[in-house]
Amino acid sequence: MINGIIVIDKAAGMTSGDVVYHLRKLLKQRKIGHAGTLDPEVTGVLPVALGQATKLIELMHERPKAYEGEGMLGLATDSYDLEGQVLAEQTLAEPFSDQELQAAMQSLTGEITQKPPIYSAVKVNGKRLYEYARAGIPVERPERTVTVSRYELTAPSRFDAAKGRQTFSYRVECSKGTYVRSLVNDLGEKLDVPAVMTKLRRTASSGYSLADAVSLEELAADPDHLLEHVQPIDSFFADYPQADLDDSLWQQVKNGAWIKLPLDADMVALRYNKKVKAIYRAKGQGRYCPEIMLLSNE
């Protein structure tokens, strides 16, 4: 079994589940799971955990994400992207200045309250929002608090005077649970015009970036070198405090025992034979208990 993380540069037109399906066939391995769903038309970084690394998926979700995309002022849809039904159109007589756009973006940074799009996988009373939308059933969308650390223009905006539409390119860095589609829609509300997301690409997630990513097509074309693209489990814990175990402590850790460490850290990666074998959590007075066991990590 392969243990590690493979970062896929997901193509448009496929779901995150499709990526897992293709990897299972390619690797001939069942124990695989992705960390952070991407909508079918969104491209970019999709970290996929293999083998023992599937135990890390919840931690992987906690890491910030980064995106680059495009939006358009003058059109709004029910899904907040071009896949949905048009709800509003407005011909802009003149464009907003880039300073106005950036100021509105800045007002949407920090800790903000956000409503997910109606076409999203958020659950309400056991059903996903998109199920209510497809059935035409009205439902109150739950508000959630997210953190947007960066929302900014990446290039001068463009104005099509003939169509009365203004397009803009942006970069977003945010916490888990943030819907970038909603950020574009919210920008339109700040400016009092319809707005829609037209393109999105995730550039970083779970501590990995596009520089670490490989496409499914590349993997399938060169299966003999597939393992070269697998990030070791230890790479995920590069920023964690580390402690090397002697033989005595290793025997205790293998049995899931609490141990004492001369550290002051909430979480620590325990290494044996130069490999992370467990993540332990502080319980006070120098005592640590098991959080995640990775005993098969070789």
User: What is the per-residue pLDDT for 117?
Assistant: 81
Instruction: For residues 57 and 59, give the distance between their C-alpha atoms in angstroms, rounded to a whole number.
Output: 5
Burial (Cβ within 10 Å: 0-12, 13-18, ≥19) of residue 28: exposed
CATH 3.40.640.10 fits 4-63+206-235, yes or no: no
Question: Among 39, 81, 186, 212, which one carries the catalytic annotation?
Answer: 39
Asked whether the predicted pLDDT for residue 80 surpasses 90, the reply is yes
Domain 65-202: which topology? Pseudouridine synthase (3.30.2350)
Q: What is the pTM of this model?
A: 0.92
Q: Residue 173, Cα to own-chain centre: how many angstroms?
A: 10
Q: Which tens digits make up the pLDDT trace of 202-212? A: 999 999 999 99
Q: What is the pLDDT of residues 121-133, one digit of tens each?
A: 778 888 887 888 7
pLDDT for res 207: 95
Examine the residue annotation and report whether 39 is marked as an active-site residue of this protein. Answer: yes
Q: Do domains 4-63+206-235 and 65-202 have the same CATH topology?
A: yes
> What is the per-residue pLDDT for 103?
98
Q: What is the pLDDT of residues 47-67, one digit of tens each?
A: 999 999 999 999 999 999 999
The pLDDT tens digits for 236-280 are 999 999 999 999 999 999 999 999 999 999 999 999 999 999 999
Predicted local distance difference test score (pLDDT) of residue 287 = 95
Check residue 36 and give its pLDDT.
85
Q: Identify the CATH class of 237-293.
A: mainly beta
Residue 223 is predicted with a pLDDT of 86
What residue ranges do the domains of the chain occupy?
4-63+206-235, 65-202, 237-293
